[in-house]
Amino acid sequence: MMYVSPRSALLILLCLLSACGGGGGGGGVSTSVGSSTAGEIPPYEYAPPEDILDGWQVGDLDDQQFDVGRITRMVDGMLRGDIEGIDAIAMARRGQLVLVERFARELDQFDRWIGNRDPERHVLHSASKSFTSVLIGIALDQGYFGGTEVAYLPLFDYPAYDNYDGRKANITLDDVLTMRLGIQWDEWSEPYTSSRNDLVALTQQNQDWTKALLDLPMATQPGTAYVYNTAATNSLCDALDEVTGMTTDEFSERFLFEPLQMRNAEWDNTPTGHCVGGSGLFLTARDMAKMGQVFLDDGQWVGQQIVSEEWVARSVAPAAAFNGEFANAYGYQWWLGEFREGARTYPFYYASGYGGQFLVVIEELELVIAIFAQNYENGRFSLPLHVIEDEIIPSVLDR
C-alpha cells in the first residue's frame, strides 16, 4: 500500500484552504475582520512593542526616524484587510524592535502539522530553509562536516542508491545548499495541490524522503544548474542528524533557539522522525525577526556569536542567478534582490515562504522586517514585499 503521511495529505488539500483575517493595535489582537464590519473596528493607534525580556531592545518608530503616520496607516490597512491576508508583522531598525503587531487569525490545516494551538506562532513554510542553512553553518563552525565541499552521499548510511551514475558521487554539501544538485526534479511546473508535483509525489509515496530524493536520476552535472528543491533542504536536517549525533530538534534548541531566547519554536517532523527543514518551522514574528538581526550584526545576538561572520557573508553571497519579481540571485538558502524607490535601489536578502512568509534584511537602512501572511491561493504571495517597497522604505526619514 502506498504510504501517505498526514502532512502529505494536507499538501493536496491546499486548494480547499479558506483565508481568515484580523487585526490588532499596539501589540494586541482585535476581532477578526471576517466577522466585523469596518465601522466596528477602531482606528489603529501605534504603541511601541512590549519589553518581554527576550533579548530585544525595544524602541519607538519616531526615535528610529520613521514616518509614524505612514506606518500607522499601513498597519491600519492590515487591520481592516485593505492590505490583504496579513497575519503579523515585526520590524526592527538599528537593533531596536519598533513594531510588533499580530492580527487575529483562525488556526488552519498547517497548524495541525504540529498540533499548534497558539495563533501567535505561525508556520514559516519555505522560509524555514534559511534557518536550516544557519544550523548547517553552526555545525560547520563547530567542526562538523569538514567543509561545504564534502561529498554529500557518504554523509548517509544507505548501502546503495537507485539510478546511480558517476555524477551522483560529485554532489557536495555546497551543491545542496545552493540547490544545484543535478538531480532530476521539478516542483514548480505543477501546483502543490497536484500529485504530479515532484515534491508531493515524493512525500506521498515514500517514508524516507532523503533516500527517495537521492535515488532519483541525474539530469545535469552537480553545481551547474539551479533547480528549486524543497526535498533537498529536508535532507540537510537528516545530514545534520547524522554528523552531529543529535536530532535537529536538539541541535537547534541548544545552539539557536535557546541562545536567541526563542521560547516558542517548534519543527514539524518527517515520517522517519527528522525535522522538515524545507518548510516545517513554526515561530512568532517577533522571534523570526531575531534571525534577521543576527545576520545584520554579522552573526551575533546580544553580544553572543551564534554563527560565524564568514557563514553569514557566504549565505547571502550570490551563488546562482535568478530572474524573479524581486529576486535576482540565490545564496545558501537565502534569496537576494533589490527594492526600488524612485531612482534609488536598496539591495536586500530574504527568507521566503509559501503564502507570504517573509524575513527581509535591508543592510543599508539597518532594517529587519518579518511578515506572516495567509495569501495561499489568491495570487498575492509577494504582497509583503510590495508593502515593504511601497510603504515601509518610503517611511524611513533618515537615510
122-135 pLDDT, tens per residue? Answer: 999 999 999 999 99
- Mean pLDDT to the nearest integer, 169-185: 98
> pLDDT tens across 228-238, in order?
999 999 999 99
Q: Is residue 217 pLDDT above 90, yes or no?
A: yes
Give the pLDDT band of residue 397 (cuts 50, 70, 90). confident
Give the pLDDT band of residue 76 (cuts 50, 70, 90). very high
pLDDT at 40: 83
pLDDT at 237: 98
Higher pLDDT, 139 or 7: 139
Separation between Cα atoms, residue 263 and residue 54, nearest integer Å:
9
pLDDT at 39: 54
Q: Is residue 2 pLDDT above 50, yes or no?
A: no
- Mean pLDDT to the nearest integer, 307-333: 97
pLDDT at 20: 29
Separation between Cα atoms, residue 256 and residue 391, nearest integer Å:
32
CATH fold, domain 119-399, is: Beta-lactamase (3.40.710)
pLDDT at 3: 31
Lowest mean pLDDT among 216-220, 331-335, 375-379: 375-379
**Cβ(243)–Cβ(155) under 8 Å?**
yes
Residue 327 β-bridge partners: 337
pLDDT at 147: 97
Q: Is residue 11 pLDDT above 50, yes or no?
A: no
CA 94 from centroid of its chain's CA atoms: 22
Q: Is residue 5 pLDDT above 80, yes or no?
A: no
- Amino acid at site 238: D
Q: Is residue 17 pLDDT above 50, yes or no?
A: no
Q: Is residue 318 pLDDT above 60, yes or no?
A: yes
**Cβ(392)–Cβ(74) under 8 Å?**
yes
Q: What is the mean pLDDT of the chain?
A: 91
% residues pLDDT > 90 (the chain): 87
**Cβ(284)–Cβ(291) under 8 Å?**
no
Q: What are phi and psi of 231, to 5 degrees?
A: -60, -30
> pLDDT tens across 97-151, in order?
999 999 989 999 999 999 999 999 999 999 999 999 999 999 999 999 999 999 9
- Mean pLDDT to the nearest integer, 283-298: 98
Q: Is residue 10 pLDDT above 50, yes or no?
A: no
pLDDT at 79: 96
Q: Is residue 23 pLDDT above 50, yes or no?
A: no
Residue 297, phi-psi category: left (phi > 0), alpha (psi -120 to 50), beta (remainder): alpha
pTM for the predicted model, two decimal places: 0.91
Lowest mean pLDDT among 29-38, 40-49, 57-66, 231-240: 29-38
